[in-house]
Amino acid sequence: MPAEDDVKDLFAISLKLPKVWPSNIELWFAQVESQFALRNITADETKYHHVVAVLDENCARRAAAVISNPPYVDKYETLKDVLLQRCGLSELARAQQLLHLQGLGDRRPTQLLSDMQALRGKMDLEVLFRALFLEQMPEDVRMTLASSTADIEKLASDADEMVQSKASTPPVFAIAKSDRRPWCYYHKKFGKKARRCVAPCDFRPRINEVEAEMSPENILAGRQ
């Protein structure tokens, strides 16, 4: 009769994990750990290498720091934590997907419900409420606050400050006007009739006045 360790080795060799599911990596890990449990695979190193073997290029790149230099202990849990953080959708992103579902399509209602439940995972309904609130914000405010971990009251307070700051910002043309240099003494006194100009001076005659002065009638009148 084979020894227990030999049986475990046979189970480990026969295990074929599914390729990683980047769109729902939490559910993928749940299935992976069920496979480990069924085959009584508990060795940290064995679980770690099985997961690394089925990662796609994108997920492997995001976990490159762990894969290229794994810790001495807890290799599997460290890799799992990194993949969940960097390859899985954030709770807010999943909530926003739930808010923007495109209807049944070619699915049955029960299939739609299953897809929604898989997308929700263990998400608290408060996250959905938070996503609903952010959906009502201007796009720049929403993008800035999307990664905030503050509670909903603090989030609303931060949004207040951002919206009020935008409202109190003077328009670009007003800023440009305030930066203009003043007129010199001659242009202040004589305006467009000044015959001299002393720097600094930002006098610019209006276009219609220049056109009027350059008209044939005025040019002829000036020659007479």
- Whether 92 is covered by a domain: the verdict is no
- Whether 94 is covered by a domain: the verdict is no
Answer whether the bond into residue 70 is a cis peptide, omega within 30°: no
- Whether 93 is covered by a domain: the verdict is no
Tokens 């230099």 appear where?
Answer: 69
- Reported as a single tens digit per residue, the pLDDT across 136-165 is 888 888 888 888 888 889 989 999 888 888
Say if residue 81 is in the same domain as residue 10: yes
- Reported as a single tens digit per residue, the pLDDT across 168-214 is 655 555 444 445 557 776 677 677 777 777 677 777 765 444 444 54
pLDDT at 44: 94
User: Using DSSP, how many helices (H) and how many strands (E) does the chain show?
Assistant: 15, 0
- Whether 191 is covered by a domain: the verdict is yes
Q: What is the DSSP string of 51-82?
A: HHHT--HHHHHHTHHHHHS--SS-HHHHHHHH
Say if residue 32 is in the same domain as residue 79: yes
- Whether 213 is covered by a domain: the verdict is yes
Say if residue 16 is in the same domain as residue 79: yes
Question: How many structural domains compose the chain?
Answer: 3
Say if residue 63 is in the same domain as residue 104: no
Say if residue 159 is in the same domain as residue 127: yes
- Whether 91 is covered by a domain: the verdict is no
Which structural domain range is residue 218 located in? 178-223
Say if residue 80 is in the same domain as residue 105: no
DSSP state of 106: T
pLDDT at 66: 94
Q: Is the pTM of this model over 0.75?
A: no
134 CB burial (10 A radius; 0-12, 13-18, 19+): buried
- Reported as a single tens digit per residue, the pLDDT across 84-106 is 888 876 667 777 777 777 777 87
